[in-house]
Chain A
């Protein structure tokens, strides 16, 4: 959400998002950069913002603003910094500055990084980028800027970004970090959002950027476990408990062997369901 909009910042923790990005970059015009920086810093310091991860998107390395952004924001201890146009260089340079500021201000939090992959070079260098810092928590696909970098037309069908999507989802999985899909830009097309998000989930994305808060519910519905999945996970956990009492390491459910990875997956499903109030 735009960092220079006080009303939006105040209601950030009412929107049921897992994570919020206060933006200092593209949503803020050049003449509002200072105002946004100050407002976001104050919001982070003053507002309780409970039950939601709060991150700040700073301006990119090739802009004159990123340093002042970090100087202003890091002392207010956001959960994470979102780096646009991520590259090995931008991650390393910004991490260095972040560490300096954390030490100078003796902050308690170790700031996480969320990287937006939005250039052709960013895509093919993905592995090096992810390995460039141990603070990276998620990679986010930015398909609008990517299409522009590629010189291709962005369409609703999104065939043109399929390769990028598979790549981002797979790389994130390989490094056990989150992969967040590019926003669905037609905010009034709820069915389109749902179908497109189902696809994202099916290829391994663990979440999605919402360009409007009204999209959050649909995205959650897709990523939340279904009632069937929850029930099955609950049965598996129950059976696992019984098996453990009997001293069995593995057991069978519906004719299939249940071992530790399956039990872990069931635990994840029940945890997620609990978080969304689908089970108590």
Chain B
């Protein structure tokens, strides 16, 4: 079946960004509020008490990012117990989770659901090692699918940096403090059994965020992870002069978009150019004496400083990208923890992404319809995923993609992206070093920018011609016909198929 953006071979085809919004408030399951978990220091004993069975779904979060010890610890034990055909519903998968690859081969794990996959697991899935089709979700799509019962987790294993006497969990204390546990809330709320795994317990803990009454077991282990591993790869402002030019132009565009007013809300990724946009925007906000209402998403030290310096009133934080953000969330009451449901669930009418004015996003590929790929490389191998990309692009009034047009002889602008991660109808602007393309639906913005600025505004076809001049037109890659994964939109419909390489 063909979906509304022309991609074929899909069940539940995507129909449009807001065609399937089922507005409902999330109601927490009616568990007894006075309920307390059982504490243990033996994971095997706890596993013995659980109804572990073939075909079950287990879930994990990725707040420890590439320093996570919990997924490998639990999965190795389940592997040894001989449980087969499991679905792993992880919020994201990193290179530290490579233990999953041999488990695909002996069918311990036959299905994976995740919002982002990098490293050996992505390669293995792309090569067809996983028996069933992997679902690449968005950060908002994942809690939606759990709350609506599309994904039913049998056991949620939640890495918890600190647990209090009532079994309540926090990310902002303990030796493996990761700041916030935003992605784990839906798991705690909906899984049949919830096992918190921690290396630190105390009578009280800093800013508990998942209530103990939702937790069945607390298991104390030696170490849940290495906090150094949570530092995302790219949390420094770029020093590349071309990247800096892109950032200056993006900031100028925001200045003239009509959205840069007191109360503006803003989100940026942790990439070098995206952070540089925040830096340029800060200069303009300073000059114009503008205070924003909030910045959101994954939080870096850079946004923490903007909060401290008064450029924004609040930070809504779903995950900390580096240790300065972890320090800040412990002490700054305007640095607010949020769940992925609050952040980006399309069916949550109060979600934060819908309140965003401007979001700055990256792209590994973007096409003439403004569709963006951040899921696969141009070789077709899974190397990322939406995370909050598709959620924020849909929610924000102005979704700006910043990317070098030509990077190491490869153009980001292609006729058709390898994989649609974010549909072009939710993408508003592409800023590159050689020109800016604006989605033609924004005619007023195009006219305004041409009138007020000397930014190089051009049609995306013109920009593509420039890119082709530098790189030539690459040969088309042959697609196999075996689907190994699908790119799932935030509403659960399918944007695109990812094929075996």
Contact = CB atoms under 8 A, between A and B. Distances in A.
B239 A15 contact: no
B434 interface: yes
Contacts of B406: 10
Interface string B423-436: 00000000001100
A16 B245 contact: yes
Contact of A214 (B239, B408, B453, B455): B239
Interface of A: 7, 10-11, 14-16, 48, 212-214, 216-217, 276-277, 280
Interface in B460-476: 469-470
Contacts of B433: 11, 14
17 contacts: A7-B408, A10-B406, A11-B241, A14-B242, A14-B245, A14-B433, A14-B434, A15-B242, A15-B245, A16-B245, A214-B241, A216-B241, A217-B244, A277-B453, A277-B455, A280-B451, A280-B454
Nearest to B246: A14
A11 B470 CA distance: 10
B248 interface: yes
Given A10-B406, A14-B433, A15-B241, 14 more contacts: A11-B242, A14-B242, A14-B245, A14-B434, A15-B242, A15-B245, A16-B245, A213-B241, A214-B239, A214-B241, A216-B241, A217-B244, A277-B453, A280-B454
Select the residue from A11, A214, A276, A280 with max chain B CB neighbours within 10 A. A11
A214 B455 CA distance: 19
5 smallest beta-carbon distances between A and B, as pairs: A277-B454, A213-B241, A14-B433, A11-B242, A214-B241
Contacts of B447: none
B51 interface: no
A213 B240 CA distance: 9
B452 interface: yes
B473 to A, nearest CB: 17
Given A14-B434, A280-B452, A217 B248 contact: yes
A10 B466 CA distance: 12
A276 B454 CA distance: 8
Nearest to B239: A214
B74 to A, nearest CB: 45
Interface string B223-245: 00000000000000001011011
Contacts of A214: 239, 241, 244
B381 to A, nearest CB: 25
A10 B452 contact: no
Contacts of A16: 245
A217 B239 CA distance: 13
A216 B244 CA distance: 11
A15 B434 CA distance: 10
A8 to B, nearest CB: 9
Nearest to B452: A280
A16 B469 CA distance: 20
Contacts of B408: 7
Contacts of A280: 451-452, 454
B433 to A, nearest CB: 4
A16 B242 CA distance: 10
Contacts of B452: 280
B202 to A, nearest CB: 43
A200 B239 CA distance: 26
A10 B214 CA distance: 58
A39 to B, nearest CB: 15
